């Protein structure tokens, strides 16, 4: 179209048909599934859910349970998203945990070393026509974003991750562009120690190539550091067992997915008794860190909010 001697283009999309490609997993839909869940509730049910999560990886029960809570979300709190980071030596199964998580929700896997600003948060991309336009990335498009090797991410990408963790938004400020959009992704990240392997003689911040203000925004920080001889033997036995006989897994991936989405329909409320337990635990832990001069991150109010989210997801 020519306007006042200049060519102007306008993109028009004509929609002929809409087809939903996502499965309806908002609830457990069959009587058989309900009976199976009801029959297992009193029989170490949470343990069985953890056993079904990334069953090829031995152990890490508490980490697996926390990721399940991450997928359920923290309910009606000010921020329902639960953010987790796993830090540890290479070859300890961190990436496998992230990849399995991607099977259970609308998610995106990102390698921090290879991620670009436009692919992760927001940036300027050039179209085939030569025009440059703003574009948003994974943090704005997905419910769950797994960021592997976050310790190798660029400074500007970490700033975007921090904004997502803290504000639930991502911003793009370039010449002629001032854009802020919602970023409601729950982040599950993994990172390696600064020197490749964890050094016991160094403190937490010296071992980790991530800023303390960024780490403090995560609700849970897991350390997967040393492996004892007993643990090594158990892992070897687990691998051999998988190769020699069929593994019994309580729930399939599809059943896990349906149960997680079923949990999201429930709205538990924090009771006064539970609130008092959380308050007491928070105060005791803060005092312990202060009195023992523990080389860890200080306990702040945001960690109490994280405890509420985790308790709500567990309920």
pLDDT given at position 75: 73
Phi, psi of 62 (to 5 degrees): -65, -40
Which residue, among 251, 241, 306, 307, has the nearest Cα to 274 in the 3D structure? 307
Closest among 192, 180, 198, 218 to 70, alpha carbons compared: 218
In angstroms, the CA 167 to CA 150 distance is: 19
pLDDT for residue 91: 79
Instruction: Tell me the two tokens of residue 131.
Output: 């025009």
Helix axes 61-72, 45-52, angle to 10 degrees: 90
Q: Which two tokens stand for residue 237?
A: 């036995």
Per residue of the chain (315 residues), give pLDDT as tens. 455 666 566 677 888 888 766 555 545 555 666 666 666 666 788 898 999 999 888 788 999 999 999 999 987 656 789 999 999 888 778 999 999 999 998 899 999 887 776 778 887 777 777 777 778 889 999 999 999 999 998 888 898 999 999 889 988 887 777 888 899 999 999 999 888 888 877 777 788 888 888 988 999 999 887 666 666 666 666 667 666 666 788 888 988 888 888 888 888 888 999 999 999 999 998 888 777 765 667 778 888 899 999 999 998
Task: Classify residue 30 by burial, with Cβ atoms within 10 Å: 0-12, 13-18, 19+.
Answer: exposed
C-alpha separations of 8 from 3, 176, 199, 261 in Å:
7, 19, 61, 46
For the chain, domains (ranges, CATH) are 2-266 (3.40.50.300)
CB count within 10 Å of CB 204 equals: 15
**What is the pLDDT, as a whole number, of residue 44?**
82
Contact 285, 304 (CB under 8 A): no
Nearest Cα residue to 172 out of 120, 94, 245: 120
Q: Encoding tokens for residue 114?
A: 């290879």
Task: Provide the CA 136 distance to its chain's centre, in angstroms.
Answer: 19
> Cα dihedral sign for 235, 238, 243, 247?
negative
């Amino acid at each position: 179209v020519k306007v006042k001697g200049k060519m102007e283009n306008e993109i028009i999309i004509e929609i002929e048909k809409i087809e939903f490609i996502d499965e309806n997993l908002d609830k457990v839909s069959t009587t058989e599934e309900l009976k199976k869940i009801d029959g297992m509730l009193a029989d170490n049910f949470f343990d069985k859910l953890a056993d079904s999560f990334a069953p090829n990886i031995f152990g890490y029960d508490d980490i697996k349970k926390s990721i399940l809570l991450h997928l359920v979300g923290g309910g009606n709190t000010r921020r329902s998203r639960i953010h987790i980071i796993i830090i540890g030596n290479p070859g300890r199964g961190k990436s496998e945990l992230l990849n399995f998580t991607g099977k259970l929700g609308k998610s995106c896997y990102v390698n921090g070393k290879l991620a670009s600003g436009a692919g992760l948060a927001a940036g300027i991309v050039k179209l085939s026509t030569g025009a440059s336009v703003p574009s948003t990335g994974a943090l704005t498009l997905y419910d769950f974003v797994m960021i592997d090797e976050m310790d190798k991410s660029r400074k500007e990408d970490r700033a975007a991750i921090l904004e997502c963790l803290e504000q639930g938004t991502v911003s793009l400020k370039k010449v002629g562009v001032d854009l802020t959009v919602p970023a409601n992704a729950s982040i599950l990240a993994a990172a390696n120690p600064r020197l490749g392997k964890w050094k016991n003689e160094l403190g937490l911040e010296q071992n980790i190539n991530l800023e303390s203000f960024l780490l403090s925004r995560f609700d849970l920080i897991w350390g997967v550091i040393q492996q004892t001889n007993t643990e090594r033997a158990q892992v070897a036995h687990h691998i051999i067992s998988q190769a020699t006989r069929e593994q019994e897994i309580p729930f399939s991936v599809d059943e896990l997915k349906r149960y997680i989405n079923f949990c999201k329909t429930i709205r538990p409320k924090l009771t006064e008794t539970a609130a008092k337990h959380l308050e007491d635990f928070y105060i005791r832990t803060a005092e312990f860190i202060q009195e023992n001069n523990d080389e860890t991150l200080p306990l702040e109010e945001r960690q109490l909010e994280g405890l509420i989210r985790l308790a709500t997801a567990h309920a």
